[in-house]
């Protein structure tokens, strides 16, 4: 899951990230190097004008067993 501020709730956040966007480092989710989080946020409704001052919070809500 990803939450973004300021005012991410106004744009439907928190949202589920695609599985290809992240991996676990220990118990902490980190973005894959080829994932452009800013591009994904804008594509998912977050205003481009707020990207410069964004703060991101990520967490694992549910992990499927492989």
Residue range 46-63: mean pLDDT, rounded: 90
* pLDDT score, position 2: 95
Mean pLDDT of 6-30: 93
Mean pLDDT of the chain, nearest integer: 91
Q: Are 14 and 50 in contact (CB under 8 A)?
A: no
pTM, to two decimals: 0.84
Mapped onto helix, strand or coil, the DSSP state of residue 3 is strand
Parse the chain into domains and list their residue ranges.
Answer: 2-58
Q: Which residues contact 60 (CB under 8 A, 6 or more apart)?
A: 1, 24, 27, 29
CA 22, 24, 28, 32: dihedral to nearest 10 degrees? -30
User: Radius of gyration (Cα) for the chain, nearest Å?
Assistant: 12
**pLDDT at site 47:** 97
- The whole-number average pLDDT for the span 43-50 is 96
């Amino acid at each position: 899951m990803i939450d973004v501020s300021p005012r991410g709730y106004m744009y439907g956040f928190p949202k589920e990230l695609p599985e290809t966007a992240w991996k676990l480092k220990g118990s902490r989710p980190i973005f894959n190097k080829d994932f452009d989080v800013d591009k994904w946020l804008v594509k998912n409704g977050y205003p481009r004008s707020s990207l410069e001052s964004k703060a991101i919070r990520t967490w694992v809500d549910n992990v499927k067993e492989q």
